[in-house]
Structure 1
């Protein structure tokens, strides 16, 4: 049996056991990240068995609105908005209601199911919190969008305010393993992040939490993060690939190949089989021409731009999804039937 046949049998067997209810072990997850390049097609085929079982051929789109940019007191080494960053980015206080409402309209027109309101900073002030809550109520009246808020560290009462306003989900990424966390930020702890996830869960909010790959961590750190997310039973995992922005401490760091990214996505699918898995920041930069292949493991992606970096036009994402024969799930649960030409005119 050659290596290709061995890989096909090996990963098919793992997928079958996971579909039978067996949890992917730490050793198996590590083996996925260490798989030989020639095994990638077999890995993707096995990951797709699991993806198809739980999500069919559906793809969910997310639209991100950077509601407050820069001006952050945290020292996250990967972030262009941190206090130690010298990146040339826009800096502005919390966006007004009209701007956030306009973002919701763009999200809806871009076929996004979820609208993500993201603000830089350690955590929201009470004024910012009430502003977001008030605007979310109006968005919910105007559009059938799922709302995800990413506002930094939250106290339990903050989470309650957002829940009562109609926010569906909180995003707060673990970013990496507990062991590696101090290597990327020192102004808050891994425990602080866990506390925010707990506060959100305690009031009934869905959890969106993932991380960034390519910051200098080891494979063991990526596996630790995936297993922690499984333990927290998060509803959604965004997998970001480091975009090394000039002016940040990690500028110029390019450790990932497109195949590394595919291996990581397969590992997250094996370890979190029923969880929505999203291809997030850095996908255009690192996956390059293999972006479409990532959707055999993942079942959601961001459309349009990210926080301080640009993405490819939404119509290109729609075309990529249609070319795969996949379906876009719209806000409200409907399946998109318009062509990519129609989607393009919405922008």
Structure 2
């Protein structure tokens, strides 16, 4: 197949760069394209990525600030109340540990330090600890801080912004139609509202998805356009890493080529946004990991929440071998 509905990959990239929005039909064509079209598709995605971000790669690092102890029933998560995964559980880390984590991140040339805590939303005590840690980090390091603490109130969002949190993450995770099959203890709208509260408070919105949870190709396209409508500045794309002990432990829906098509779709639907290849990339992309950066311009280094990532040195080497370079943080 040399074209999609009469539009070649090159012409699709040109359409995006001219400011037009691809159609949902074209989005579905990306996801369902023959594997023989993969390199041409990635070249189109790279044209758009290069136009907006050059060869820069943004590095992000997660600290699992609170592990387990979560009352939510998200089927993919090892920290949820329904999970039987043998993970380490602990309350919110003390301020000094959070601050030390930021300094370690800086040593790895990380531009965005992500403080992530399990739970439906932060208690006031937990919020106080995060606020104090953020203030100390911002006083000493030129680093962006992203917080991911669950569902927020307006007041909590304002406090985080005033403390210096640059970005707030709350993923939509999946399509609106599939959401109830994944989680029943909160709603898709709860997540949308939290992102909107973060925006209203002044924080940059970060929201993405977990691909590979049983969604259809049409739903993947729906997710890409939902994130566009949400106007998320940063879009982390996770690929399900099925963890033993979770309801989704036996799900294996992905292959590396499908993952790359998803990233190409996200870039072409959200051309100006930070597209981050996130959790599960090592498991699902395998030896094709480096190709992901032809569509994505951002990556997590180090470990995730309860699963291990590859060594940061390997990520730096991958970036260097591609002829790309780490983007230094500019506040």
Tell me, yes or no, whether TM beats 0.5: yes
CA distance in 2 between partners of 1:50 and 1:78 (Å): 32
**Matches of residues 156-305 of structure 1 in structure 2 within 5 Å?**
156-305=154-303
Cα offset, 1:220, TM superposition: 1.5
CA distance in 2 between partners of 1:330 and 1:107 (Å): 12
CA distance in 1 between partners of 2:273 and 2:3 (Å): 28
> What is the aligned partner in structure 2 of residue 114 from structure 1?
112
Give deviations 1:86-116, integer Å, cap 9, x for gaps. 0011100000012101110111011110000
* Number of aligned positions between the proteins: 330
Cα offset, 1:6, TM superposition: 4.2
Instruction: Name the SS of the counterpart of 2:8 in structure 1.
Output: helix
Give deviations 1:291-327, integer Å, cap 9, x for gaps. 0000000000000000000000001000000000001
> What is the aligned partner in structure 2 of residue 63 from structure 1?
61
Instruction: Name the SS of the counterpart of 2:63 in structure 1.
Output: strand
CA distance in 1 between partners of 2:230 and 2:3 (Å): 33
Cα offset, 1:251, TM superposition: 0.2
CA distance in 2 between partners of 1:292 and 1:310 (Å): 18
CA contact (8 A) 1:108 1:331 kept: no
Instruction: Name the SS of the counterpart of 2:195 in structure 1.
Output: helix
> What is the aligned partner in structure 2 of residue 338 from structure 1?
none
CA distance in 1 between partners of 2:207 and 2:280 (Å): 16
CA distance in 1 between partners of 2:221 and 2:66 (Å): 32
Instruction: Name the SS of the counterpart of 1:71 in structure 2.
Output: coil
CA distance in 2 between partners of 1:13 and 1:323 (Å): 29
Give deviations 1:262-295, integer Å, cap 9, x for gaps. 0000000010000000000000000000000000
Runs of 4+ aligned residues of structure 1 deviating over 3 Å after TM superposition are 5-9
> What is the aligned partner in structure 1 of residue 310 from structure 2?
312
1:101 counterpart (99, 102, 111):
99
Cα offset, 1:331, TM superposition: 2.3
Give deviations 1:112-148, integer Å, cap 9, x for gaps. 1000000000000011111101110000112111000
Cα offset, 1:332, TM superposition: 2.8
Cα offset, 1:261, TM superposition: 0.2
Cα offset, 1:189, TM superposition: 0.3
CA distance in 2 between partners of 1:216 and 1:232 (Å): 23
> What is the aligned partner in structure 2 of residue 323 from structure 1?
321
Instruction: Name the SS of the counterpart of 2:294 in structure 1.
Output: coil
The alignment's C-alpha RMSD in Å is 1.1
Instruction: Name the SS of the counterpart of 1:148 in structure 2.
Output: strand
